Amino acid sequence: MESKKNKSLKTIKWAEDIISGFDWSKTRELSEAEKNELASKIYASSINASQLRNLYYQLSKIKLGNISFSEEEIFAIIMNIAMREKIGNCSYVKLLQKDGREIYDILMSNSDELERKVNPELIDIMMDSGKTVEELKEYYMDLGLEKIVKEYEDGKRDIKNLYMAKQVLETYSSKRKLKKDEKSIVLYSLLNNALLYKGKSVLIENLYRYIKEMGYSSYECSSMIINLALTSKDKKEGYSYSRILSCNKKMEEAFVPIRISEVLFQKALSENLTEMHEEKTKQELRQIGVSEEIIEKKDIKNLYMAMQIVDGYNLRLRNDEKKAVLTEILKPALLNKKATNKLFLGRLCTELNSMGLSKQKVYGGIMSLAINGSWKNGLNYTKVLQMYYSIHESVKAEDINYDVSEVDVIKAISKNLEDEQIQQVKDYYESIGIDIQTKDNKKIENFFVAKQIVEKYDFGRTLSDIEKNSILECIVKNKNLSERNAIYLITTCSKLKSMGLKDQEVYGAIINLAVNGHFKNDNRYYYSDILSGVSSLDKVDKDDIDTNVEETTIVRAMISNINENKKGIINEYYSNLGLERFIAEDSDEKKENSNLYFAMFVMEKIKSQYELNENEQKTILYEMLKRKEFNEESSYHYNLSTICDKFERIGLTQEEAYSAMVNLTVNGSVTERKGFEFQKVKKSTSKLLELDKDEIQKNVSSFTINRAVIRNLDKESKGKLIEELKEMGVNGELVEQRHIGNLYFAKKIVDTYSFGRELSDEEKSSIITCILGSGQLKSKSNASGIERLCNELYNLGLSDKEVCGAMIKWGINGSATEQSGYDYSRILVSVGKVRELDAEGIYTHVNESDIKNSLRKSERVIKRCMKGVKDKGIIEKIEETKMELDSLIEKENQKDNKQVFTNDDMDDIM
Amino acid sequence: MVSTKLDRKALAEVYYVILSLNNEEFSKIPKNLIEAIKKNMDNEYEVNIYEIEKGNMQADTEKILATIYAYYLSSREEKKVIWDLIEFKKSKNTKAINFKKKK
C-alpha cells in the first residue's frame, strides 16, 4: 500500500475527493479501512495530483455514442481502474504517467472497461474479504474444490486468481454448457499451477488482459486460457500453461486454439481428474453396476473416458445397458492401470476426432468396435488401441461402423450376462413351458437375445402372452442355437444390421425367418443355414428380406408348436361349439392340432366380420375341417395355413385370404375358372398362385354361410324348420315336397330382406310360397336351385339384401327385370343365364304392392277361373267336372282297395 | 293311374295352383281328390305358374279349378249363388230343349 507520508496533500485530497464525490448509497457504504485502501490505490506509487487531474480531464473529453461521462461516472471509472490496477494491458500507474493524448487513446481502445459504476466485487477482492470473497469460497466448495479454498485460507493463494478463474470459467460456460463435474475439473486445472500460488505474483488476470489486448473477445480469451490449462499442462517444450503464465508475451507465438472440440475437451478432463473426481467416477460406475474388478483394474482416465463415450453418444440407455456397453469398452487389458503398454481411450478418441470425425462418430465408432470386436476393415479393438497414434494412416473413415443401436446394446448385454440375469432367463422360459436344455450358460445368450427380439419388436398391437411365446418358441427351437457351439443368434442380428437394416427391421427379419423358415422372396437359405453361416446373407438382396411381421406370421407361429396349453385351448373351443368329434382322441375324425388351431384363428377373425352366430361358426368350422386330409391319422397332411399363405402371396390381405379359404372349403372353389377346385389344388396348393387376386372370391357371402348350414342341418333342425313354415301358414304339402335347402333359403331370404316393417305371418308365408311355388322346384333333386340362383346374383355384384329383394321380386312377380326371357321358372332351370344380366337392371326393392300381390295368389287364380266359367256360360259344366273328378277318385280307390285286398290275402297265406 | 277324360296337363296345373294355397284353404280340399289329381297328372309337364296367373292355362284347368272352388273353397253364400245359377242355367237349358222338341 502506498504510504500517505510520501504523498502531497493535494494528491491525497484528489483521491479522497474522488471517493467522497461518488454516491455510495447506490452500491454500498464503504468502511474507513476500505476508503483508505481505495484511496491508496488511487494515488498509488508516484502518482501526483496533476496526473490524476489529467486522467479526469481525458475522461471528461470522452464521448461514447455522443454521451459524455458525468463527474460521478468519471470517479467510478477511475476507482475501478485503480482497483483493477490495469486497463487493458496497461497498468494504472503507467497510464497516469502518459501524456494526455496517449491516455485518451488507451481509454478509448479499452472503452468496454470504462464502467460507470463502482463494481462492489472489486472492493471485496481488493480488501480480500466481504460478501464476494465468501461467495467465491462457497462456489469453490460447491464444486468440490475444498482443497483450493483451504489453500486460500492458509494464505497460499491469491483471491484474485480464484476470482479470475471463476470469471474465465463462467464466460466459457456461457457458450458451452458444462456439467458441474466438468466445471470443477476446469477450475482445478486453471488453478493447479505452482506459479499461481501467492508469492509468485502471477495472475491469471494478466494473461487474460494480455490475450484481450491481442484483440480477442472475452469468450475467446477464456477459451484459450482453459485450453492452455487443460491441454498443455505437461508440455515441456513449446508453450505450456506455466510458460505462458509466467511470460504472457509467449502467447503471441503460441498456437492456442480458440475452440476446443468436445472430444478433446473430455479427453483433457480425463487427464486432469482430481482425487475427488476419480472417486466420483468410480462411484458412478458402481451405481451403474460395473463390476468392482473392472473399476479397480482399469486406469481411471479410461474409466472416466468410457463413461463420457457412453453418456455422450446419442442413445439413451438404462443402467444395465450402460453397464454392459461400458464393460465391453473397458475389456482390453491394455486399458488396465498396470498394463505394460498402458493405453488411453481419450487419446484414441482425439486421434479419431482429428480425422474429422464428429463426437458422435468417434464415440459410436469406439462403442461399435468394442461390442462387435472389429470394424468393417476387420481391424479388431486391441489392434486399434495399439495403433491409435497412426490410426489415420491405416483406417479410413468409411471403414468405421459408427451406428450403435439397440441391437448392439443387446449384444453387449448378452455377452455379459450375470448369474442373476441368467436365472431370470431360465425362469422365464420355464414359466412358458420351454425347456432350455443346456448346461452351457453361453447358450443362454441365445435365449436372452430371442426374448429381447420379441419384446422389442413393434407388432403394431399388444401381443397376447401365447402369441409372444409362440414366436419365441419358433426362434429358439432350432437345434443350432441350443446344441451347436459358437452359433449365436446375435451374430445373425449383427449381420442383418450391417446390411443396412434398422433395429426393428432386424427383429422383424429374424421373426419372419424363424417362423416361416426362410425369407418370403428368397427361399434359398433356411433359418438353420443362416444361423450356422451368416455369410450366406451376403448372397441375399437386402430388399428380399421381409422385415414386417404380418398377422399371418403370428398365426403361423401360434400353430407351429402346439403345446399342452394350446391343446387345452383347442379342446375347450371345439367342445363349446359341439365339435367334439374333431378333438376326441378315439374319434375317426380327430383332426390335426395345427389345423384345428388355425381354423380357430380364421373363425375368430371372420366371425365378427360376417356376424356369424354360434351355429354358423360351428358349421363353417366343420366345413373347413371335415375333409379326411385334415385328420390326424391322414397319411396326407394338409395344412389350412398353406392355403392362406398362397392367397396372401397372390396379394390378398389376411382377412381376404381367410374368406377365400372359407369359400374354397365350403363352396369347393374360389373362382369360376376350372381347375382350381379344392380337389384339384389340394395336392399342390402352389397351383393357387396361378390365380389373379381379382378373380378370387374374397368375401364370404351369406349364401355360402347358409349353404354350409344347410349341409349340416340335423334331423331335429330340419323338422323344426318344416314345422315353423307350416305354422306360419305355408302349405304343408308344398313344404313336404320341397328340398330342405330350398326351404331354408326361402325363409332366410324373407328373414334377411329389410321390408321396412314387421311382416305378418300370413305375408311371410305368402312370399315364401311364391319363392317355393315354382314348378321348377318340384323335384327334391333340385335341392339347391334357390341357393345357386342367389349365389349367381351375389357374384353379379348384388349385396346380400339386394339378392334377397331380387329373389322375392322374382318369386312374386315371376320376373325381376325388364328383359324378357329371364322369368323365374326359366332362370331356376338355368341359373347361369343370370350372368347375362346387368346387375343394375335387376329390381331389388320390394314394395307394398309386391307384398299385396303375394297374398292369396292361388285363391285369386281360382276365383278368376270361377268367373271365367261363369262368363263363358258353362257354369253347369261344374257338375259334370265334379263327376269326372269323383270318378277319378273312385277309380283310385278301387285300385287302392285291390291292393289292400291283395296284401291281406298275402298275410293269410303267410 | 287310371284313364280319365280330364287332361293330365290340366291336372298338373291344378295341382300347382292348389299347392300354393295356404294351409287353411288347402285343407278344405278332400285329400283323396288331391291324391287322385297327383296320381293322374302329367309329371313331366313343366307348369309355369306365372302363365296360369295370366290366364294362359289348359282348358280343363279352368273348369277343374272352378269346380274345386264351387264345391270346396267357396263360402256358404257364394255356394248358394253358384248353385242357384247352375239350377237356373240347367232349367234354362231344359226349357230350351223342350222348346226345340215342341218345335
Any idea where the domains of chain B sit in the sequence? 8-74
Distance in angstroms (rounded) separating the CA atoms of residues A593 and A573: 12
Q: Name every chain B residue with its beta carbon within 8 A of the beta carbon of A778.
A: 16
Report pLDDT for A900: 43
Q: Name every chain B residue with its beta carbon within 8 A of the beta carbon of A862.
A: 17-18, 21, 65-66, 68-69, 73
Q: Name every chain A residue with its beta carbon within 8 A of the beta carbon of B14.
A: none
Query: Which chain A residue shows the shortest CA-CA distance from B30?
Result: A889
pLDDT higher than threshold 80 for residue A9: no
Number of domains chain A is built from:
7
- Whether residue A868 and residue B21 make contact (CB cut-off 8 A), yes or no, is no
Higher-pLDDT residue of A396 and A3 is: A396
What grid cell was written down for A127? Answer: 480488501
Residue with cell 375347450: A572
Terminal Cα-to-Cα distance of chain A (whole angstroms) = 159
Residue A866 lies in a domain: no
Distance in angstroms (rounded) separating the CA atoms of residues A412 and A407: 9
Alpha-carbon gap: B101 to the closest alpha carbon of chain A (Å): 21
pLDDT higher than threshold 80 for residue A375: yes
Query: Which chain B residue shows the shortest CA-CA distance from A811?
Result: B50
Query: Which chain A residue shows the shortest CA-CA distance from B64?
Result: A881
CB of A119 closer than 8 Å to CB of A129: no
Verify that A691 and A569 share a domain, yes or no: yes
Q: Does any CB of chain B come closer than 8 Å to the CB of residue A373?
A: no
Q: Which residue in B51, B53, B80, B63 sits closest to B7, CA to CA?
A: B63
Q: Name every chain A residue with its beta carbon within 8 A of the beta carbon of B86.
A: 875-876, 878-879
Verify that A782 and A648 share a domain, yes or no: no
Residue A378 lies in a domain: yes
Verify that A112 and A242 share a domain, yes or no: no
Q: How far is CA A243 from CA A88, A192, A247, in A?
A: 21, 14, 6
Alpha-carbon gap: B2 to the closest alpha carbon of chain A (Å): 7
Residue A838: is it exposed, middle or buried by C-beta count within 10 angstroms (0-12/13-18/19+)? exposed
Distance in angstroms (rounded) separating the CA atoms of residues A691 and B32: 58
Residue range A136-161: mean pLDDT, rounded: 93
pLDDT higher than threshold 60 for residue A424: yes
**Which residue, among B26, B49, B84, would best test binding to A if mutated, counting the most A CBs under 10 Å from its CB?**
B49
Residue range A507-516: mean pLDDT, rounded: 94
CA angle A614, A620, A621 (to 5 degrees): 90
3 state SS of A675 = coil
CA angle B56, B62, B68 (to 5 degrees): 140
Verify that A435 and A484 share a domain, yes or no: yes
CA angle A570, A574, A577 (to 5 degrees): 150
3 state SS of A63 = strand
Least confident span in A455-464, A646-655, A771-780: A771-780
Domain boundary among A237, A260, A283: A260
- How many other CB atoms are there within 10 angstroms of residue A837's CB atom? 18
Verify that A64 and A157 share a domain, yes or no: no
Alpha-carbon gap: B36 to the closest alpha carbon of chain A (Å): 5
pLDDT higher than threshold 80 for residue B97: no
What grid cell was written down for B40? Answer: 293322374
Verify that A602 and A651 share a domain, yes or no: yes
**Which residue, among A725, A726, A731, A738, would best test binding to B if mutated, counting the most B CBs under 10 Å from its CB?**
A731
pLDDT digits (tens, 9 = 90+) for A671-694: 888 888 888 887 788 889 999 989
Contacts of A457 (CB under 8 A, 6+ apart): A504, A507, A508, A511, A549
**Which residue, among A861, A870, A874, A880, would best test binding to B if mutated, counting the most B CBs under 10 Å from its CB?**
A861
Q: How far is CA A529 from CA A517, A526, A539, A743, A898, in A?
A: 10, 5, 13, 59, 86
Q: Which of residues 757-776 of A touch B (CB under 8 A)?
A: 762, 765-766, 769-770, 773-776
Residue A868 lies in a domain: no
Residue A653 lies in a domain: yes
Least confident span in A13-22, A48-57, A103-112, A636-645: A636-645
Average pLDDT in chain B: 86
Q: Which of residues 854-893 of A touch B (CB under 8 A)?
A: 856-859, 861-866, 868-870, 873-879, 881-882, 884-885, 887-889, 891-893
A114 φ/ψ angles, rounded to the nearest 5 degrees: -85, 85
Query: Which chain B residue shows the shortest CA-CA distance from A771?
Result: B20
What grid cell was written down for A864? Answer: 278368376
pLDDT digits (tens, 9 = 90+) for A757-780: 999 999 999 999 999 988 888 766
pLDDT higher than threshold 90 for residue A309: yes
Contacts 24+ apart (CB under 8 A), A780-784: A780/A737, A780/A738, A780/A739, A781/A739, A782/A739, A782/A742, A782/A828, A783/A739, A783/A740, A783/A741, A783/A742, A784/A707, A784/A739, A784/A741, A784/A742
Residues of chain A with pLDDT > 90: what percent? 46
Residues of chain A with pLDDT > 70: what percent? 95
Verify that A64 and A138 share a domain, yes or no: no
Buried b / exposed e across A641-653, counting CB within 10 Å, b at 16+? bebbbbbbebebe
Alpha-carbon gap: B44 to the closest alpha carbon of chain A (Å): 11
Alpha-carbon gap: A592 to the closest alpha carbon of chain B (Å): 49
- Whether residue B63 and residue A823 make contact (CB cut-off 8 A), yes or no, is no
Verify that A229 and A356 share a domain, yes or no: no
- Whether residue A876 and residue B70 make contact (CB cut-off 8 A), yes or no, is no
Report pLDDT for A22: 87
- Whether residue A893 and residue B24 make contact (CB cut-off 8 A), yes or no, is no
pLDDT digits (tens, 9 = 90+) for A160-215: 999 999 999 999 999 888 988 889 989 999 998 889 988 777 889 999 989 988 88
Domain boundary among A236, A260, A284: A260
Q: Across the interface, which of A737, A858, A889 has its CB nearest the CB of B32?
A: A889
What grid cell was written down for A684? Answer: 399342390
pLDDT higher than threshold 80 for residue A523: no
- Whether residue A858 and residue B74 make contact (CB cut-off 8 A), yes or no, is no
Report pLDDT for A905: 41
Q: Which residue in A543, A546, A633 sits closest to A591, CA to CA?
A: A633
β-bridge mates for residue A67, sequence order: A64
CB of A369 closer than 8 Å to CB of A329: no
pLDDT higher than threshold 80 for residue A904: no
Q: Name every chain B residue with its beta carbon within 8 A of the beta carbon of A765.
A: 22
CB of A815 closer than 8 Å to CB of A824: yes
Provide the domain limits for residue A902. 876-909
Distance in angstroms (rounded) separating the CA atoms of residues A53 and A80: 16
A629 CA to centre of own chain: 42
What grid cell was written down for A169? Answer: 470459467
Higher-pLDDT residue of A729 and A201 is: A729
Nearest 10 degrees: Cα torsion A289, A292, A297, A303: 30
Higher-pLDDT residue of A485 and B51 is: B51
Q: Across the interface, which of A774, A815, A885 has its CB nearest the CB of B33?
A: A885
Q: Across the interface, which of B46, B53, B70 has its CB nearest the CB of A878?
A: B70
Q: Across the interface, which of A766, A825, A892 has its CB nearest the CB of B36?
A: A892
- Whether residue B66 and residue A881 make contact (CB cut-off 8 A), yes or no, is yes
What grid cell was written down for A712? Answer: 349340416
**Which residue, among A725, A730, A733, A763, would best test binding to B if mutated, counting the most B CBs under 10 Å from its CB?**
A733
Residue range A792-818: mean pLDDT, rounded: 91
CB of A482 closer than 8 Å to CB of A437: yes
Residue range A868-877: mean pLDDT, rounded: 86
Higher-pLDDT residue of A662 and A893 is: A662
Report pLDDT for A564: 86
- Whether residue B19 and residue A734 make contact (CB cut-off 8 A), yes or no, is yes
Alpha-carbon gap: B46 to the closest alpha carbon of chain A (Å): 6
Distance in angstroms (rounded) separating the CA atoms of residues A479 and A675: 41
Q: Which of A105-114, A323-332, A886-895 shows the highest mean pLDDT?
A: A323-332
Alpha-carbon gap: B47 to the closest alpha carbon of chain A (Å): 6
Residue with cell 459358437: A486
Query: Which chain B residue shows the shortest CA-CA distance from A887?
Result: B4
CB of A230 closer than 8 Å to CB of A266: no
Least confident span in A370-379, A463-472, A777-786: A777-786
The residue type at A485? N
Q: Which of residues 619-648 of A touch B (CB under 8 A)?
A: none
Q: Which of residues 774-803 of A touch B (CB under 8 A)?
A: 774-776, 778
pLDDT category at A908 given cuts 50, 70, 90 is very low
pLDDT higher than threshold 50 for residue A549: yes
Buried b / exposed e across A450-467, counting CB within 10 Å, b at 16+? bbbbbeebebeeebeeeb
pLDDT higher than threshold 70 for residue A661: yes
pLDDT higher than threshold 80 for residue A636: no
Report pLDDT for A901: 41
Report pLDDT for B101: 57
Distance in angstroms (rounded) separating the CA atoms of residues A225 and A119: 24
Q: Across the interface, which of B19, B60, B86 has its CB nearest the CB of A878?
A: B86
What grid cell was written down for A736? Answer: 313336404
3 state SS of A814 = coil
Q: Name every chain A residue with its beta carbon within 8 A of the beta carbon of B40.
A: 888, 892
CB of A741 closer than 8 Å to CB of A721: no
Query: Which chain A residue shows the shortest CA-CA distance from B67?
Result: A878
Q: Name every chain B residue with its beta carbon within 8 A of the beta carbon of A736.
A: none
- Whether residue B66 and residue A879 make contact (CB cut-off 8 A), yes or no, is no
- Whether residue B63 and residue A887 make contact (CB cut-off 8 A), yes or no, is no
Report pLDDT for A909: 36
Verify that A33 and A108 share a domain, yes or no: yes
The ipTM is 0.89
A612 CA to centre of own chain: 36
Verify that A604 and A693 share a domain, yes or no: yes
Distance in angstroms (rounded) separating the CA atoms of residues A19 and A2: 16
Distance in angstroms (rounded) separating the CA atoms of residues A350 and A371: 20
Residue A380: is it exposed, middle or buried by C-beta count within 10 angstroms (0-12/13-18/19+)? middle
The residue type at A307? M
pLDDT digits (tens, 9 = 90+) for A592-617: 898 999 999 999 989 888 889 999 99
pLDDT digits (tens, 9 = 90+) for B70-80: 999 999 999 99
Verify that A57 and A145 share a domain, yes or no: no
Verify that A531 and A607 share a domain, yes or no: no
Report pLDDT for A748: 92
Average pLDDT in chain A: 88
pLDDT higher than threshold 50 for residue A441: yes
What grid cell was written down for A200? Answer: 509468485
CB of A617 closer than 8 Å to CB of A603: yes
- Whether residue B2 and residue A892 make contact (CB cut-off 8 A), yes or no, is yes
CB of A802 closer than 8 Å to CB of A834: no
Per 3-state DSSP, chain A is made up of helix, strand and coil in percentages (nearest 5) of 65, 0, 30
Alpha-carbon gap: A887 to the closest alpha carbon of chain B (Å): 8
- Whether residue A884 and residue B62 make contact (CB cut-off 8 A), yes or no, is no
β-strand pairing of A90-91 with A86-87 = antiparallel
